[in-house]
Chain A
Amino acid sequence: MNPDQILYLLQGAWGTVLLSVLTFLFAGLLGLCMALMRVSDNRLLRYGASGYIQIIQGTPLLVIMGLCFYGPSVLGLGDTPALFAAVLALTIHSAAFLGEIWRGCIESVPRSQWEAAECLGLNRLQRMFKVILPQAIRIATPSTVGFMVQIVKNTSFASLVIGFAELSYNAKILNNSTFKPFLYFGVAAMLYFIICYPLSWLSLRLERRLTLAGS
């Protein structure tokens, strides 16, 4: 493996990191909306969010990628840049999972906290943002960090339908011209591992700390 090839793989890894960060930002926003809608008093919002989550969790990410890649031109918006389509698809997919994770965290805040906040005369919005969410965030941190690993791995889907030049895509290109699969995919796997393992480790540590604090 020559330096150019190493550099090419590292460029791919940069693409992977870029996709992951953008996806996490947007999916975090949309996922929070979904989680709040799921616990809302309004039946329409609740059913809407739950329908969204059910449908997206029943659709392969590759199909979402295809719909996001070809969809905008169908709507007459012209050609879709690969980065845009990839981030859009990953956001739609991840928001459904994050929404479901965070709903569980919001609901695991004890009911008495809601009631106490109500007794203090806080309105619904204040209750949610001043009392419930700060506690829910603490509960949600380990699983959210764990889900970041999923996001990083899922960015590899963008190498297929969309052909975004991230780590898997670049590794495949190198293999296609040299036919040394163990070498290139081994190095690519190592790079993914270097990105993902610290997150997995952190998630486990945070979870242990949370269980210790809770007991």
Chain B
Amino acid sequence: MSYQFDFGTVLEYWPMLLDGAETTLVMSFWSTLAGFVLGVVCAIARSSGGPVVRKAVGAYVEVIRNTPLIIQSYFFIFGLSSVGYTMSILAGAILALVINITAYTCEIVRAGIESVPRSQREAGECLGLSPLQVYWHVILVPALERVYPALTSQFVLLMLVTSLLSAVGTEDLFGVAENIQALTFRNFDVFVVLWVMYLIMSALVRGMFILAGKFMFVRKRKLGTLL
């Protein structure tokens, strides 16, 4: 192998890389947060809304889950700007990510809600809990606890897939790295550096989700049992 690695040239641009990593994390954070809230709302609507609402949410979920993110982002970002509705690239990218991740979150949370046995709900009612209390304590929170590992994987994947949005011009880690490639012509070396950085970031994000899970699901922490 006659190739000489030259990471020094690439790492001279480390402030750019750090800025990019920060943008990636900011994009992931807001789309995870908004996607989670909207996804739970959609899941509730899909599992206990009226027939029209159910059909509408179902159609949205199917369309998003059966088309690639890149086409969705081109469609929304280039589409909206072509009809004169412009926004910052970052906002557009987050919008596209939220529209995408909401559908996946909805499907995962719905599976969790449907996995709660009917008898649990009835037992809650027998204990004299109000319908809202039953829904919150007996259905929603245990359902979320049950699907939390799946949600974690989905959100880690989301962080990795933000790289795709560099195609519409975001200055995320991948977008910045493309600029560095253009400046240095060390394409392969840049990709190796990117690889290491993304690995560290995905480990960090996964670790944070595991930690957050320990705080959110007290029952599991105290009893240590699966639902």
Contacts and interface: CB of A to CB of B under 8 A. Distances in A.
B71 A76 contact: no
A165 B174 CA distance: 21
A175 interface: yes
A74 B70 CA distance: 29
Contacts of A75: 1, 3
A182 interface: yes
A138 interface: no
A196 B71 CA distance: 14
Contacts of B160: 58-61
Contacts of A34: none
Contacts of A55: 199
A46 interface: no
Interface stretch (A22-30, A37-45, A103-111, A149-157): A149-157
A21 interface: no
Interface stretch (B41-49, B72-80, B114-122, B219-227): B72-80
Interface size class of B (residues with CB under 8 A): 35 or more
A108 to B, nearest CB: 16
A63 B70 contact: no
A188 B68 CA distance: 10
A74 B67 CA distance: 34
Nearest to A188: B71
Interface in B68-113: 68-72, 74-75, 78-79, 82-83
A185 B71 contact: yes
Pairs A-B, 3 closest by C-beta atoms: A181-B78, A58-B202, A196-B66
11 contacts: A55-B199, A58-B199, A58-B206, A63-B194, A67-B188, A67-B192, A74-B1, A182-B79, A185-B75, A192-B71, A193-B63
Contacts of A175: 74, 78
Contacts of B203: 58
Contacts of B156: 57-58
A189 B198 CA distance: 29
Nearest to B205: A58
B71 A182 contact: no
B161 interface: yes
B7 interface: no
A63 B201 CA distance: 14
A60 B68 contact: no
Nearest to B5: A74
A14 interface: no
A19 to B, nearest CB: 12
Contacts of A157: 70, 164
A193 B198 contact: no
Contacts, number: 118
Interface residues of A, number: 39
Interface of B: 1-3, 62-63, 65-72, 74-75, 78-79, 82-83, 156, 160-161, 163-164, 166-167, 174, 187-188, 190-192, 194-195, 198-199, 202-203, 206
B164 A62 contact: yes
Contacts of A74: 1, 3, 188
Contacts of B206: 58
B191 A70 contact: yes
Nearest to B80: A181
B85 to A, nearest CB: 12
Contact of B198 (A60, A70, A153, A186): A60
Nearest to B72: A189
B28 to A, nearest CB: 12
A197 B78 contact: no
A67 B3 contact: no
Contacts of A193: 63, 66-67
A185 B79 contact: yes
A18 to B, nearest CB: 16
B180 to A, nearest CB: 12
Nearest to A100: B153
Given A67-B191, A71-B188, A182-B79, A168 B66 contact: no
